[in-house]
């Protein structure tokens, strides 16, 4: 098995849509360790609908749409990161975090701690809106400080070439492409946009290096 981690600079930036496209492009299996919020379609349901690929059960499925530690506490539960090992699957596993890197799982551990323990290559999703330079560079610094291998940055939103270039220059990160906001969000439309916009070959190369390491 080989694995990729998809994380973001913030919540609601489109990393689940990106994850669906990635799972589809790599013929991979998807896993969301912790789902906080059940009022709407879950991330796993979105990925299953858009990718048509296998989706594993969440490690924790929590009702409240909040930070995982708060959602868990509202149900009298404590998330144990030691129970969240990367599942063993045939082929590629795409594991998606919640919110950003510094989101707490419990009162002692952050998502970043979990990613560092896993040691799998990380793709960082960043929106192209105002503030993204600061958020993305801080996220890259945090990932590298924790020893996480970074594949590169995927941008989501309208084109901002100067901003994207600045982030990749200062962050010394590969530009993995920009996924536009799709007017019609269907499996076919996502696949077409992904093929046209995302550097899947660079992602596959990072996976191959990880398998050889």
pLDDT, tens digit (0-9, with 9 covering 90-100), for 55-105: 999 999 999 999 999 999 999 999 999 999 999 999 999 999 998 999 999
- Cα gap 186→79, rounded to integer Å: 34
Mean pLDDT over all residues of the chain?
Answer: 95
Q: What is the pLDDT of residue 184?
A: 87
Q: Residues forming the annotated binding site for Mg(2+)?
A: 16, 43, 96
Q: What is the pLDDT of residue 44?
A: 97
Q: Which is more confident, 39 or 201?
A: 201
The answer to whether the CB of 143 falls within 8 A of the CB of 124 is yes
For 131, which DSSP code?
A: T
Q: How many angstroms separate the first and last alpha carbons of the chain?
A: 13
Q: Which is more confident, 85 or 211?
A: 85
Helix (H) or strand (E) holding 171: helix 161-171
Q: Residues forming the annotated binding site?
A: 12-17, 36, 43, 96-99
204 catalytic, yes or no?
A: no
Q: What is the pLDDT of residue 211?
A: 56
User: Over pLDDT 90: what percentage of the chain?
Assistant: 91
Q: Residues forming the annotated binding site for substrate?
A: 36
Q: What is the pLDDT of residue 213?
A: 39
Residue 210 — pLDDT band, cuts 50, 70, 90?
low
Residues in the chain: 213
pLDDT, tens digit (0-9, with 9 covering 90-100), for 134-174: 999 999 999 999 999 999 999 999 999 999 999 999 999 99
Whether pLDDT at 212 is above 60: no
pLDDT, tens digit (0-9, with 9 covering 90-100), for 112-133: 999 999 999 999 999 999 999 9
User: Over pLDDT 70: what percentage of the chain?
Assistant: 98
pTM: 0.95
């Amino acid at each position: 098995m080989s694995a990729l981690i998809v994380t973001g600079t913030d919540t609601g930036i489109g990393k689940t849509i990106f994850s669906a496209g990635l799972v589809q492009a790599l013929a991979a299996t998807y896993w969301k360790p912790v789902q906080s919020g059940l009022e709407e379609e879950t991330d796993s349901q979105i990925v299953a609908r858009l990718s048509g690929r296998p989706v594993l059960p969440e490690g924790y499925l929590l009702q409240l749409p909040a930070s995982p530690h708060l959602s868990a506490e509202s149900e009298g539960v404590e998330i144990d990161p030691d129970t969240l090992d990367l599942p063993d699957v045939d082929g590629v596993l795409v594991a998606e975090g919640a919110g950003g890197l510094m989101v707490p799982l419990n009162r002692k551990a952050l998502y970043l701690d979990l990613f560092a323990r896993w040691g799998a290559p990380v793709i960082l999703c960043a929106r192209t809106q105002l503030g993204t330079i600061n958020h993305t560079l801080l996220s890259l610094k945090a990932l590298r400080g924790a020893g996480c291998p970074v594949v590169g940055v995927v941008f989501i939103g309208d084109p901002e070439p100067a901003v994207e270039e600045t982030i990749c220059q200062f962050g010394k990160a590969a530009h993995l492409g920009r996924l536009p906001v799709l007017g019609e969000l269907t499996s076919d439309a996502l696949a077409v946009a992904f093929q046209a916009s995302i550097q899947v070959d660079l992602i596959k190369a990072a996976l191959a290096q990880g398998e050889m390491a």
